């Protein structure tokens, strides 16, 4: 390659094109390395840098919380963001561009699983260090990951299959209560179920089983929605699923042995970061494979024209039952994690408000898209946390944002795309010079 020529070209291009040129040759693993470097800088130097810049502490959520309360700190916070995130990422990404591409090329020849695991390990490392800075960050990120699972699982029904289901908080409640009952019954001394039956040390290892049990109960509950969905669509199914939500809520309110309206508290602290992260990755992985499978294509066929799909040998009944149960399973698992993050559940948490949140996340992010669900859940979740200092104005800004997105992109930010991990992890410079 000629060294002079590209530089000359760069200066004549617009800033957007220049940015694209700058970013284009960097593979995903390069970005992950850059993020890891930035997080390491924050981990070791964050305290000094924030001290020098006159900030009260390390800005937890990208400085939103401090800036909105004390606008005087804007320059300091911006300086921090540039010093800790901007510069290290840029430097590492650019300087490691060649080795990163080589590494990506090397991984590209291996199985996708291996490559994905390497990427995930790197990402988890960065996330762990990032969350280690503050417990508040940890809590926010855990709840955001649970929101991703919920959004993704409702996307399977509302996005891929095109039904309008409103029963997701109900599934979540079933999962949350089942998992809580199991862990409290077996592994904790509490006032509802008395002494622990099994040694508490075992609890953590049995927790995944409790989550799965929660998912299964939610899936069984989903049958109640799946069967009427053979005959109804659209508004009618929405009403039936809404009714299901109320049934679940009333049921729990009147079940005295799970605490009734007072709820259950003091679940053991099993939902730590590795647990939530692993379950979320499994959820994304499995749902992504599900929607890209033949079954996933059948879902789209049902959405577009159920009669035609039936005529083209799609077994619509079976597809619907499986989809509802599958999505409900993941909502139940997410509910189980949620109960063990908050260590408290009450029926009031699984009402219309939760439904509105989940629906906002899925329609904001984009229908029929795994990436969209992730983006939607993360942005709504982090945004509503970052805008916390605005109090009541937060509830004006977020809905306004939703309206704007619906006007500009009626199907959501990133809709109707396929999430292809293999493409994502590919090296970006095909021929790397040695």
Partner 1 sequence: MKSLFKGIVWGLIAVLFFTTNGWGFGRKKVVRVGINAPITGDIPKVGEGTKYAARMWLEDIENAGGIEVGGKKYPVELVIEDNEAKAESAVKANTKMITEDEVLVIVGPQSSKQAVPAGDVANNYETPMITPWSTNPDSTKDRPFVFRGCFLDPFQGPVLANFITEEFGFTKTAVLYDVASDYPKGLAEFFKQSWEKIHGPGSVVAYESFTTKDTDFSSQLSKINKSGAQVLFTPQYYNEVALIVQQAHELGWTGPIVGSDSWGSAETVTLCGKDCYGLFFSSHYAAAGAQGATKEFIERYEKKYGYTPDDVAALTWDSLRLVQTAIENSGKLTGKIKKDRRAVRDALAKIKNFKGITGDMTFTEEGDPIKCAVIVRISDKGEYEFYKSVCPN
Residues that bind partner 1 (CB under 8 A): 7, 51-57, 60, 65, 72-73, 75-76, 78-79, 82-83, 87, 134-136, 139-140, 143, 249-250, 253-254, 260-263, 265-266, 338, 342-344, 346-349, 353, 385, 388, 391-392, 394-395
Least distance between partner 1 and beta carbon 385 (Å): 7
Least distance between partner 1 and beta carbon 78 (Å): 6
Q: CA dist 181 to 200, 222, 233, 263, 318, Å? A: 15, 20, 34, 11, 31
Least distance between partner 1 and beta carbon 328 (Å): 21
- The smaller minimum CB distance to partner 1, of residues 82 and 424, is found at 82
- The smaller minimum CB distance to partner 1, of residues 3 and 430, is found at 3
Q: Which DSSP state fits 259?
A: T
Q: Which residues make Cβ contacts (< 8 Å) with residue 267, sequence separation at least 6?
A: 180, 183, 184, 188, 339, 340, 343, 344, 345
Least distance between partner 1 and beta carbon 391 (Å): 5
Least distance between partner 1 and beta carbon 139 (Å): 5
d(CA 58, CA 367): 36
Is 186:354 a contact under the CB 8 Å cutoff? no
d(CA 50, CA 110): 42
Least distance between partner 1 and beta carbon 262 (Å): 4
Q: CA dist 410 to 253, 362, 369, Å? A: 38, 12, 14
- The smaller minimum CB distance to partner 1, of residues 138 and 295, is found at 138
Kindly give the residue spans of alpha helices, DSSP state H, lying in 293-431: 294-304, 306-311, 316-342, 352-365, 370-386, 394-408, 421-424
- The smaller minimum CB distance to partner 1, of residues 11 and 313, is found at 11
Q: Would you state the structure tokens that stand for residue 300, as one six-digit string?
A: 């789209």
- The smaller minimum CB distance to partner 1, of residues 6 and 99, is found at 6
Q: At what angle do helices 234-254 and 203-226 cross, to 10 degrees?
A: 130
Least distance between partner 1 and beta carbon 359 (Å): 17
- The smaller minimum CB distance to partner 1, of residues 170 and 412, is found at 170
- The smaller minimum CB distance to partner 1, of residues 160 and 350, is found at 350
Least distance between partner 1 and beta carbon 261 (Å): 4
d(CA 122, CA 281): 13
Estimate to the nearest angstrom the gap between the alpha carbon of 428 and the chain centroid: 26
- The smaller minimum CB distance to partner 1, of residues 41 and 237, is found at 41
Torsion of CA 51, 52, 58, 59, to 10 degrees: 130
Count of C-beta atoms within a 10 Å radius of residue 422: 11
- The smaller minimum CB distance to partner 1, of residues 57 and 409, is found at 57
Least distance between partner 1 and beta carbon 121 (Å): 27
For the chain, how big is the Rg over CA atoms in Å? Answer: 24
Q: Which residues pair with 344 in a beta bridge?
A: 265
């Amino acid at each position: 390659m000629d060294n002079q020529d590209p530089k000359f070209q760069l200066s004549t291009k617009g800033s957007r094109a220049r940015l694209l040129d700058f970013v284009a040759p960097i593979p995903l693993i390069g970005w992950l390395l850059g993020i890891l470097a930035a997080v390491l800088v924050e981990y070791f130097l964050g305290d000094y840098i924030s001290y020098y810049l006159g900030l009260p502490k390390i800005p937890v959520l990208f400085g939103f919380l401090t800036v909105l309360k004390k606008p005087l700190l804007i320059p300091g916070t911006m300086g921090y963001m540039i010093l800790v995130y901007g510069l290290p990422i840029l430097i590492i990404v650019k300087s490691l561009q060649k080795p990163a591409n080589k590494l990506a090329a090397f991984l590209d020849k291996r199985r996708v699983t291996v490559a994905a695991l390497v990427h995930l390990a790197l990402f988890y490392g960065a996330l762990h260090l990032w969350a280690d800075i503050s417990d508040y960050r940890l809590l926010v990120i855990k709840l955001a990951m649970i929101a991703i699972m919920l959004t993704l699982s409702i996307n399977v029904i509302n996005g891929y299959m095109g039904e309008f289901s409103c029963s997701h908080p109900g599934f979540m409640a079933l999962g949350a209560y089942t998992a809580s009952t199991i862990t409290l019954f077996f592994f904790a001394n509490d006032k509802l179920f008395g002494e622990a039956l099994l040694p508490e040390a075992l609890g953590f290892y049995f927790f995944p089983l409790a989550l799965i049990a929660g998912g299964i109960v939610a899936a069984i509950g989903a049958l109640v929605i799946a069967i009427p969905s053979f005959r109804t669509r659209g508004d009618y199914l929405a009403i039936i699923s809404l009714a299901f939500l109320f049934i679940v809520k009333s049921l729990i309110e009147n079940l005295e042995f799970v605490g009734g309206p007072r709820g259950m508290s003091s679940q053991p602290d099993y939902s730590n970061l590795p647990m939530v992260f692993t379950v979320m990755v499994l959820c994304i992985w499995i749902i992504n494979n599900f929607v890209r499978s033949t079954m996933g294509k059948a879902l789209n066929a049902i959405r577009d024209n159920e009669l035609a799909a039936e005529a083209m040998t799609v077994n619509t009944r079976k597809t619907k039952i499986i989809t509802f149960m599958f999505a409900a399973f993941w909502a139940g698992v997410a509910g189980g994690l949620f109960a063990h993050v908050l260590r408290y559940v009450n029926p009031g948490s699984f009402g219309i408000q939760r439904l509105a949140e989940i629906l906002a996340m899925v329609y904001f992010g984009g229908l029929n898209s795994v990436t969209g669900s992730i983006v939607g859940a993360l942005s709504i979740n982090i945004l509503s946390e970052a805008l916390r200092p605005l109090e009541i104005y937060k509830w004006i800004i977020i809905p306004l944002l939703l309206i704007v997105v619906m006007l500009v992109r009626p199907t959501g930010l990133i809709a109707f795309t396929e999430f292809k991990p293999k493409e994502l992890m590919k090296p970006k410079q095909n021929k790397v010079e040695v």
